[in-house]
Amino acid sequence: MAIVSNPQTTISKSVVSAAQNGTTTSPNSTTGTTSSSTTKDAKGLADNFNQFLTLLTTQLQHQDPTSPLDTNQFTQQLVQFSQVEQQLKTNSKLDTLISASGGTNQVSALLGYVGLTATAKSTSAQLSGGKAAWTLDAPRQTSGATIVITDAGGTQVASFTAQLSGGKQTIAWDGVTSSGATAPDGIYQIAVTAKDATGANVAIATTVDAVITGVDSSTGTPQLLSNGLTFTTDQIVAVSR
Supply the pLDDT for residue 208. 97
64 and 26, same domain (yes or no): yes
CATH of the domain at 143: 2.60.40.4070
pTM: 0.57
Statement to judge: residues 124 and 134 lie in one domain: yes
How many domains are there within the chain? 2
Do 130 and 199 fall into the same domain?
yes
Same-domain check for residues 209 and 168: yes
Domain finish residue from 94, 113, 132: 113
User: Do 164 and 105 belong together in one domain?
Assistant: no
Alpha carbon distance 16, 208 (integer Å): 63
Weakly modelled stretches of the chain, pLDDT under 70: 1-49, 52, 68-71, 74, 93-104
Rg (CA), the chain: 33
Q: Are residues 132 and 193 located together in one domain of the fold?
A: yes
| Residue 230 sits in the same domain as residue 131 | yes
Q: Determine the angle formed by the axes of helices 49-61 and 71-110, rounding to 10 degrees.
A: 170
- Domain C-terminal end among 75, 96, 113: 113
Same domain membership, residue 98 and residue 138? no
Q: Of the residues 113, 140, 165, which one is the last residue of a structural domain?
A: 113
Taking the C-alpha atoms of residue 48 and residue 128, their distance in angstroms, rounded to an integer, is 58
Provide the residue range defining the domain that includes 122.
114-240
Does residue 161 sit in the same domain as residue 105? no
Question: Is 179 in the same domain as 193?
Answer: yes
| Dist CA 149 CA 204 (whole Å) | 15
